[in-house]
Amino acid sequence: MRAAPHKTDSVVLVTGATDGIGKETALELARLGARVIVHGRSEVRVAAAYEELQSVSELPPPPPVIADFASLAQVRALATELGRRGLPIDTLINNAGVYMKRRELSAEGIELTMAVNHFAHVLLTHLLLESPVGQS
């Protein structure tokens, strides 16, 4: 069964889109006509995922974004950057995540798995809903 076509020209932000499920989701949405914003924490991996996305997109994808979700300050900066761009986001796919074998703390002193997998997504979602880009 093939997925239903996505609304052409819709803008989708996929967090953690440089590998695994996030990358495959971003690529498939681009194939279906969405304009996908690639997010990741590594400049090199974001650039590689963005290049691959360009090869399957009919329309040029929006520039990618880089933010490490281990830092809530970087999540805030990401939301500010997206707001500055003024490109309305139709869909947000909160996919980024980590699996830690040992207890580690984020930049703000929060257990890292909770910071990245939960708090960063909640914060980003709320910031985008409060901004004009999240109200398309």
- Residue 7 pLDDT level (bands cut at 50, 70, 90): low
- Residue 2 pLDDT level (bands cut at 50, 70, 90): very low
Q: Looking at 1-5, 93-97, 101-105, 125-129, which range is the least confident one?
A: 1-5
Structure-block tokens of residue 113: 């798995």
Looking at residues 42-59, what average pLDDT do you find?
Answer: 96
With beta carbons less than 8 A apart as the criterion, state whether 87 and 62 touch: yes
HSE-up of residue 135 (Cα within 13 Å, Cβ side): 7
| Burial 98-110, CB ≥16 within 10 A → b, else e | eeeeeeeebeeeb
The pLDDT value recorded for residue 107 is: 86
The pLDDT value recorded for residue 9 is: 78
Q: How far apart are the first and last CA of the chain?
A: 30
Greatest alpha-carbon pair distance for the chain in Å reads 45
Residue 66 phi, psi dihedral angles, 5° rounding: -125, 130
| Nearest C-alpha neighbor of 87 from the set 69, 68, 60 | 60
pLDDT, tens only, 20-45 = 999 999 999 999 999 999 999 999 99
Stated pTM of the model: 0.89
pLDDT, tens only, 65-121 = 999 999 999 999 999 999 999 999 999 999 999 998 999 999 899 999 999 999 999
The answer on pLDDT for 133 being more than 90 is no
The pLDDT value recorded for residue 12 is: 97
The pLDDT value recorded for residue 131 is: 80
Distance of CA 9 to the CA centre of its chain: 17
| Burial 66-88, CB ≥16 within 10 A → b, else e | bbbbbbbebbeebbeebbeeebe
